[in-house]
Structure 1
Amino acid sequence: MTDKKMLYVEDDLSLIEGLKFTLEKNGFTVDNARTVKEAYRYFPAGRYGLLLLDVTLPDGTGFDICREARKDSSVPIIFLTASDEEVSIVKGLDMGGDDYITKPFRLGEVLSRINALLRRSGQFQKRDAILESNGIRIDPLRRLAWKGETELALTLVEYKLLCLFLENPDRVLSRELILDRLWDGNGNYVDDNTLSVYIRRLRRKIEDNPGSPTMLLTEIGVGYHWKRANNFVGE
């Protein structure tokens, strides 16, 4: 199955051996690349159910690979980074990453986070009713979304957020509820600033003027809500 096949990009041999063994023992098929150039030879990303990317590589960064993958793929992406500096984490999420794990890490934690991300991806592909609001339309069976006639290139987290808001129009969703829905209740994986990154990234794709949003609104000190416009037929 494609979702059990992943590309693991890492150049540290001590990490590769242990993590690759753990993943394969748990039913995954793992291709390992040690450089950005080698990773590109494994593309297209459609061959994989997940990309596990070290940030620092001999000839570039995991960000380079993520940027290339996001040109035509919504494959789930997890970054492995030795730095827990906010700027590095935000950069990875802002360009399309779905999660990050800081080094040093426990093998069990990595496995748990991978399974959780794939499980959430599967859950959001099982819905069957078309969601539509404010000219935004989602087809859950195909996991596609459009703004008007233009298809939206959404990452997994962006797609999940959009589904959540369109399923709960005109309802204020607390930040805690959103984190709980997106991260299986393990909101400790992310913080408020990380959620703000995802919201900002989604607004850039759906709002005519992301700086002055009219659909995805902030409720200061509480969370966010999706405001339905009255001028769209059927709403």
Structure 2
Amino acid sequence: MIQILLVEDYEALRTELTEVLMAEGYKVFPANTLMSALHTFRKQQIDLCILDIRLPDGDGYSLCQKFRAVSDVPIIFLTALNQEEHIIHGLEIGADDYLSKPFRLGEFLARIKVQLKKHNIQEQQGVIRHSGNLTFDIQNYTVKSNNQEINLSPVEFLLCMELISAKGAVVNRNQLLQLLSDKTGSFPEDNTLTVYYSRIKKKISTFNGCEYIETVRGYGYRWAIAIYEKERRQYELER
């Protein structure tokens, strides 16, 4: 999973961008100070940095220089300082891109993808997916919880991935039944889903007291929205 360090002292924006990036499949390490950003950078394997310039205990320029002295990690400035001299200085000291506030989220995400591609940092969401304390290996149809393998059948694995791919949206029963039909060659009975998901829930347990799979009566299932929220809070505590 691609890991992004997000350095932004404005809490509301930091929270919003963390959620946006997580929804795109990135693991985010939010930080609101220069010192917390340095600590995270030294502790984690960061693939891309997004830096504000004005910070309570310093500035993003010096942070950029510290990172660039030891790493060629892609760096994007995201700041309200949009004068030409600020942009030129940021690029001259080693930043790869400079985006001024206010900005559009689509452009923000596009610039991240450009830098990841430019630096040949491969997206791994198609091979490995993470959620809570679970790690899904899509190529090998295996899932682990805290490095302990969980015995999911291939069909159970696919039913989990269908919910995870929906990113918190409800997946209706007909769509899930069609998935089972495509994989097994015969259209299953309606209660088959109930049996499968009941078995899955017993196997994957919970994350911080929250069940991974929610049943939406009369419609379908979803990967619990609370899982995404708990992950965001966990990342906030690591800043």
- Structure 2 length-normalised TM: 0.49
Q: Which structure is larger by alpha-carbon Rg, 1 or 2? A: 2
